Amino acid sequence: MPIDPFHLSDDLRAKAAPGLLDADRRHLLRIAETLETQRAEVSDRLSEVRRRPAGFGDSAVDRDLEVRRLTGRLRVLERFGMDVCLGRMTRTTGEHVYIGRTGLAAEDGTRLLIDWRTPAAEPYFGATMEDPRGITSRRRYRWSGGRVSDYWDEALTPEAFDGAASLDDQSAFIASLGTHRTSKMRDVLATIQADQDAIIRAASPGALVVDGGPGTGKTVVALHRAAHLLYAEPRLTRSAGGMLLVGPNARYLAYVDDVLPSLGEDTVRLCTLRDLVPEGALAVEESDPRVAALKASLDPDAVLDAAAKAFEQPPRHAMRIESPWADLWLSSEEWAEVFSGADPAAAHNEARDEVWEELLELLADQVDDDDVPPFAVRRWLRQDDELTGTFVRAWPLLSPASVVARLWRSPEFLRRCAPDLSDAEIALLQRPEPEAWTDADLPLLDAAHRRIGDPESVRAEHRRQAVIASAQEQMSHVVDHLIEDDDSEMKVMSMLRGQDARNVLIGVDAPPALRPDELAGPFGHIVVDEAQELSDAEWRMLIARCPARSFTIVGDRAQARHGFTETWEARLGRIGLRDVRVAHLSVNYRTPAEVMEVAAPVVLAAIPDANVPTSARESGVPVRFGEATDLPALLDDWLTSHPEGIACVIGHPDLPSTPRVLSLSPATAKGLEFDLVVLVRPERFGDGVTGAVDRYVAMTRTTRELVVLN
């Protein structure tokens, strides 16, 4: 016998009336049956496609795309049961339309679920009593263990208020706010609000700023917007490069990494700014704020362009090369012409190979001997010590990190690359260990990787070419031997000499090229959370990865640790984002009113125009104050009385974290939320704007209870 989709507690007896549930029960059971059938069908289809030969060209691409599509579909089908259904809306005709995390149709074509991202589903999230959008009511489910443990109906027209026991306007959302937190962001799709849904469904072009104070759902909106864009604008995945989500720290990424897969999207790449460069993993926080500010003020692209050009200096003298066939010449003008002809868009190391090949071609053309194949001349030139030595000195293969390190080691080099710096500023940036990276170095390192290029990929390509050249030489010997021994009247073997070398070498077992950096871009759209903290130099790291300049930008000017006095439009316009739209969220769904009454004065004292949101609810628990020595007993009592939920202690760096009690700083707590937050000696967070913001951010992480220990 199939399981009953509903499992309501005794105190919800009125909601369990058959007249309220029978239609939903039948529909949910049909969803479960269809899911089981489709899982088997998609699994069989995936196995069939995987058994096909990979093929070549378009057929290989088509096969891979089909495998990816079927794998994604199967993942969604296996992840959910009946709880794939979020709820239903009732049209003015009386028809029930069920909304799901994905679309679903029965074998006979009956539409069982409408994907939440389609325009047809928009009224479920966006309808209000002022604008019911063609529906009279909506029902939201709460799922527990694969069964509906509660549900709420919201009336949107007067005729929907018909005395039904299930009507409880807005309580679905308010009830969800008080549920305990876990180590992962909770699922809130079913309770997305109308103001949030409007932002989620906005088109991708340009930069959309989601601005709002603590607890307004900025991150929720950004994640759901990412999933919606990938569905509504397939070009983002098919041709534009996909989507990147940039978070403030690794803990934040771990907190939100399950949200997008739960929405049916697993192609979005998640990272922090540190992840964008190899050196980021070991970079420490810059201890000198003067150095951090000075590096943030530099234009990394301009500095590294000047640095690269300093290593691209053609010899100023002519050169004679004695070859087995003739004396070959390179004048100083030819050196300069070849160097200046390098592709300005190419990285230093990649352009180096292009310039080298141009030089070889220029020299090989001077050998006027039909019996000598050009590749033989070029191979000989590559082994000439004088030519290669001169070129290596004129255009060396560089490591991006070594170039940046030289800036902090050589005042003369830094002055050449950043001529606007004063002598005092240049002296301030010098350090005894130039490769002791800090977070302030990351934008310059990132610019160096783009402008200088990866020397390892160049070396790998050299090894590939060496294998190919060796095979080419062997093939040439074979061809010569075949021609020499050809005694046929037509001398057909002589035709081999003109065969294209690329055709001859099909099947050469050359080493594979290195895998490209998946975070290098370009991306079709980038989502940036806690964006108020980014410097101009850090913004350039992201803009370089999104040529379309299509961004979802999430932040709160009042939570900027170093101040944010501009408007979003002015701030983003300064770093090159022109088409900027700002959407404001003003309701605090997370932080109880009792906490905001204490937190708001803290930030307003330092930032009088801070956009402090209004709390949507009260917890009934006042803010408590005590002594730092109370912490152990306080945590023991809370853990004993709360078998579920997560607590966070902020301001006690020596306290080790446990699965249920995290120990964080204000900066690392950003973007997270907890049932209990304990601030330890918050006066130590600092003075001025930074200290006030840190205290404000720390206080507003709680969904239930705040304790301040001095």
| Positions at the binding site for ATP | 212-219
Task: Count Cα neighbours of 93 within 13 Å in the Cβ-side half-sphere.
Answer: 3
CB 571 within 8 A of CB 578: no
Is residue 636 packed enough to be buried (19+ CB in 10 Å), middle (13-18) or exposed (0-12)? exposed
- Print burial letters for 367-404: b (CB count within 10 Å at least 16), e (below 16): beeeeebeebbbbbbeebeebeebbeebbebbbbbebb
Residue 89 CB neighbours (<10 A): 27
CB 442 within 8 A of CB 279: yes
Which residues carry a binding-site annotation?
212-219
Please report, in angstroms and rounded to a whole number, the separation of the first and last CA atoms in the chain. Answer: 60
Choose among 247, 191, 243, 239: nearest CA to 219. Answer: 247
DSSP conformational letter for 611 = -
**CA–CA separation, 341 and 120 (whole Å):** 55
CB 160 within 8 A of CB 134: no
Q: In what order do the strands lie in the sheet with 96-100?
A: 104-105, 111-115, 96-100, 85-91, 135-144, 147-155
Pairing relation of β-strands 85-91 and 104-105? Answer: unpaired
CB 421 within 8 A of CB 414: yes
The number of helix segments (H) and strand segments (E) in the chain equals 26, 21
**CA–CA separation, 90 and 155 (whole Å):** 10
**Token pair for 467:** 């294998």
CB 284 within 8 A of CB 441: no
**CA–CA separation, 340 and 312 (whole Å):** 9
- Print burial letters for 449-462: b (CB count within 10 Å at least 16), e (below 16): bbbbbbbebbeebe
Choose among 621, 581, 612, 706: nearest CA to 213. Answer: 612
All residues at 6 or more sequence positions from 534 whose CB lies less than 8 Å from its CB, including other chains: 273, 528, 542
**CA–CA separation, 703 and 651 (whole Å):** 19
DSSP string for 417-479 = H-TTS-HHHHHHH--SSTT--BGGGHHHHHHHHHHH--HHHHHHHHHHHHHHHHHHHHHHHHH
**CA–CA separation, 504 and 468 (whole Å):** 10
DSSP conformational letter for 531 = G
CB 218 within 8 A of CB 210: yes
**CA–CA separation, 189 and 100 (whole Å):** 10
DSSP conformational letter for 173 = H
CA angle 653, 656, 657 (to 5 degrees): 105
